[in-house]
Amino acid sequence: MDSLKKKLLTIFLVLTIVPMMITITVVWMTTNSGFNNLIKDQQETMEHIIQSEFDNVAEELKMITEIYSQDLEFVQAFNEQDREALVDLVNGIYSRLFSEHGIDVIEYGDRIQME
């Protein structure tokens, strides 16, 4: 009788523990895969958002640059390399550019830098 009890107990344990272990393994693998996919999707979304924001800022700065590059006073002062005239012109627009666009440095291509 003792042997029969051991066999029945062994069969019972095998029939309960093995399916439970299989179920736990499947749930763990599915959850792990789901989290990995979620993280990957969120990362791709963030990359897209950041790239879009960079593109928007670049386009905005390009428009600002084009506007001021067409201003004849700026062009004339730059061509004449008249630093004082450039400083006066920039001082007139600097506070607005800083407050509206966060621009805190204005540089010109020939190493003239105004802060």
Per-residue pLDDT tens digits for 57-72: 999 989 988 888 888 8
CA dihedral 82, 61, 64, 101 (to 10 degrees): -100
> Measured between alpha carbons, how far is 21 from 27 in angstroms, rounded to an integer?
10
Comparing 106 with 80, the larger pLDDT belongs to: 80
Instruction: Provide the whole-model pTM.
Output: 0.57
For residue 20, is pLDDT > 90? yes
What pLDDT shows up at residue 92? Answer: 82
What pLDDT shows up at residue 33? Answer: 94
Mean pLDDT computed over 88-92: 84
Residue type, 24: I
Q: Other CB atoms closer than 10 Å to residue 90's CB: what's the count? A: 17
Q: What is the pLDDT of residues 23-35, one digit of tens each?
A: 999 999 999 999 9
